Amino acid sequence: MAKTKPPKQQSAFETDGLGKTVDRICEEIRKFYLWDQIPWVIGYSGGKDSSAVLQLVWLAIKEIPPAKRKKQIHVISTDTLVEQPIVSLWVDDSHAKMRKAAAEQEVPITPHKLSPATVDTFWVNLIGKGYPKPTNQFRWCTSRMKINPSNNFIRNVIRENGEALLVLGTRKAESQRRARNMSKAEEQSRGAFLDERLSVNTSLPNSRVFTPIEDWTNDDVWLFLMQVKNPWGHTNKSLLGMYQGASEDNECPLVVDTSTPSCGSSRFGCWVCTVVDKDRSMEAMIKNDQEKEWMAPLLELRNELACIEEGIGPAERKKIGKKRRDKLSDDDLRKIERSRRDYRRIDGRVMLFKDATIPGPYTKAFREHWVRRVLEIQKQIRELGPKEVAKLELISMAELQEIRRIWLDEKHEFDDSLPTIYQEVMGEEFPIPPADDKLLGAEDWEILADVCDGDERMFRLQADLLDVERQYRGMTRRAGVYDELVDRLKASQFADEDEAIRLKREEKRRLDEAQGKKDEATHTPQLELFGEDDITEEIII
């Protein structure tokens, strides 16, 4: 039986037309603006919906006499530092034009570009700490890179002014889920404010939400943008051109809570996003526009991280053996992904689920591989791409510095390989002086490896023990050094994953046997160590 298509949403302009509808919304905006002294925060991603909302606000405020334009309007854009470069450049250019136009027109609008703290960026967590690629079950990136920067800014506005009004470009037509969430917020807000058009923000106390185009369709948004001139000098036809090269999708909105839909499959998502199977919008942009072919290395890099068949190179195909030249199965790809990760958790413990280890963070070799690959692609795009990306920064020096610190201080990898990798790829010295508290240098590291005669476990154990000494060297009171040494010895107790599984199984058997005897004596039901719903990727942290 064929699926029935949902009824087409009625245009918001059907009754009064474009002009009268826009005039009515602008009048509503002016009413709310003059209502109180609470500052506004507008979420602006550079996409069609947020552009339409900002344009409506700008046009409305221009009609207010300058003497009454007292209330500050903040325009915030969150740059995750892994945004698609084209969109990032677009937003930067738009911000520059906003500042100039706002000053000339005496409009109290100030753009702000927000970004996550260095410790929360994508590369610091993936390459530095070894977090696995984000998935639907373990989407560690959203809160760190999107929610926190926006919410921190809004909280500061609330702290300084007592309240804030968020003006967002969310629309009910975006998805059924979005429509349900917006209807629920409206129900919760009923009677709370003097106007039903405002709703509560459950994630940020003392803030309200205003969604001027919540009932608009996609066609309504584009009709408005094409018919009404952009007041800060950006061209909306160029915005339309950004969409034409890719498949039809929604823009990435301002994310202020986890209920906001993922923008991974949209044109305005992060180029490294692995939450979706494929980045079809980037694929389409590269395929449909010859001027965007320079983005192909980004797509290749993203597919390699996602462990997609097209992104697997010869070295990893070789691990599969006879299937090296054939199309890899999903099981093959999962094996490759597991081979990239340690069988131990970050703290060195081993955990089993269904007679297999729960994989932990990425291994040292894979993390080093990835910092090399990112730098290689960055250099390639700078040299071969158009002039606007000649200074493109896929990974910042601040991130590299933090990654190096994590490898030295938290991972205890005192061979200090990052500066060497940087120099080999970029052809210049790493601009940060080497750590002055290392016990061993690169040559000493090689000697230690020779002494251990290829025994990787012994090598890692000796390195860890030496690093404990490095941390406690020079301390008058070395309290805790023995506990630290014991922890490192426990983390290195298994020769390999097979031995860890065998010994852990035996440990579980003994625990079950002891528990069974206890159950017989107390007549209480036996409990399993893990249930199906208890296991998530988050346990590696």
d(CA 271, CA 130): 19
Query: Which residue, 333, 315, 321, 391, is CA-closest to 88?
Result: 391
pLDDT tens per residue, range 138-187: 889 989 999 999 999 999 999 999 999 999 998 875 544 544 554 554 45
CA 436, 399, 121 angle in degrees (round to 5)? 140
d(CA 204, CA 152): 10
pLDDT tens per residue, range 237-266: 888 877 765 544 444 444 455 454 443 334
Lowest mean pLDDT among 252-256, 455-459, 515-519: 252-256
Q: What integer best gives the mean pLDDT of the chain?
A: 80
| Residue 227 in this model has a pLDDT that exceeds 60 | yes
pLDDT recorded at residue 242: 73
378 vs 464, more confident: 378
455 vs 27, more confident: 27
Lowest mean pLDDT among 229-238, 254-263, 475-484: 254-263
pLDDT recorded at residue 440: 63
Query: Which residue, 362, 371, 377, 379, is CA-closest to 307?
Result: 362
d(CA 495, CA 328): 30
pLDDT tens per residue, range 194-211: 456 788 787 888 899 999
DSSP string, 362-399: BPHHHHHHHHHHHHHHHHHHHHHS-GGGTT--SS-HHH
The model's confidence at residue 533, banded by pLDDT at 50, 70 and 90, is: very low
DSSP class of residue 210 equals: E
Q: How many residues does the chain have?
A: 541
Report whether 21 contacts 13 (CB < 8 A): yes
| Residue 34 in this model has a pLDDT that exceeds 50 | yes
| Phi/psi of residue 91, nearest 5 degrees | -65, -40
The model's confidence at residue 444, banded by pLDDT at 50, 70 and 90, is: confident
pLDDT recorded at residue 438: 56
- Computed on alpha carbons and rounded to an integer, the radius of gyration of the chain in Å comes to 28
d(CA 73, CA 111): 9
The model's confidence at residue 419, banded by pLDDT at 50, 70 and 90, is: very high
pLDDT recorded at residue 182: 47
| Residue 463 in this model has a pLDDT that exceeds 50 | yes
pLDDT tens per residue, range 83-93: 988 888 889 99
pLDDT recorded at residue 537: 46
| Residue 50 in this model has a pLDDT that exceeds 80 | yes
**To which residue do tokens 């699926």 refer?**
3
pLDDT recorded at residue 284: 77
The amino acid present at 180, given as its one-letter code, is R
The model's confidence at residue 460, banded by pLDDT at 50, 70 and 90, is: confident
In this prediction, residues 120-137 reach a mean pLDDT of 93
d(CA 312, CA 289): 25
pLDDT recorded at residue 399: 97
Greatest alpha-carbon pair distance for the chain in Å reads 84
Query: Which residue, 269, 274, 272, is CA-closest to 255?
Result: 269
By CB atoms closer than 10 A (0-12, 13-18, 19+), residue 421 is middle
The model's confidence at residue 225, banded by pLDDT at 50, 70 and 90, is: very high
Lowest mean pLDDT among 113-127, 262-276, 330-344, 518-532: 518-532
| Phi/psi of residue 9, nearest 5 degrees | -70, 140
The amino acid present at 263, given as its one-letter code, is C
| Residue 418 in this model has a pLDDT that exceeds 50 | yes
- Beta-ladder partners of 198: 210
d(CA 500, CA 512): 18
Residue 212 DSSP SS3: coil
Report whether 147 contacts 257 (CB < 8 A): yes
Report whether 79 contacts 114 (CB < 8 A): yes
pLDDT tens per residue, range 285-306: 787 777 788 989 999 999 998 8
pLDDT recorded at residue 402: 96
d(CA 394, CA 381): 10
d(CA 254, CA 186): 19
Buried b (16+ CB within 10 A) or exposed e, 108-146: bbebeebbbebebbbbbbbbbbbbbbbeeebbbbbebbb
**To which residue do tokens 């106390």 refer?**
205
d(CA 399, CA 213): 38
- The fraction of the chain above a pLDDT of 90, given in percent, is 40
In this prediction, residues 230-238 reach a mean pLDDT of 90
Report whether 222 contacts 277 (CB < 8 A): no
Tokens found for residue 32: 């709310």
Tokens found for residue 189: 């807000």
d(CA 118, CA 145): 10
Dihedral over Cα of 118, 426, 382, 297: its sign:
negative
Full 3-state SS string of 275-337: CCCCCHHHHHHHHHCHHHHHHHHHHHHHHHHCCCHHHCCHHHHHCCHHHCCCCCCHHHHHHHH
The answer for residues whose C-beta is within 8 angstroms of residue 361's C-beta and 6 or more apart is: 129, 130, 131, 132, 341, 342, 345, 346, 540
Sheet of strand 198-200: strand arrangement:
109-114, 73-78, 40-43, 164-167, 207-210, 198-200
pLDDT recorded at residue 41: 97
Full 3-state SS string of 99-130: HHHHHHHCCCEEEEEECCCHHHCHHHHHHHHC
d(CA 449, CA 506): 32
Q: How many CB atoms lie within 10 A of CB 269?
A: 24
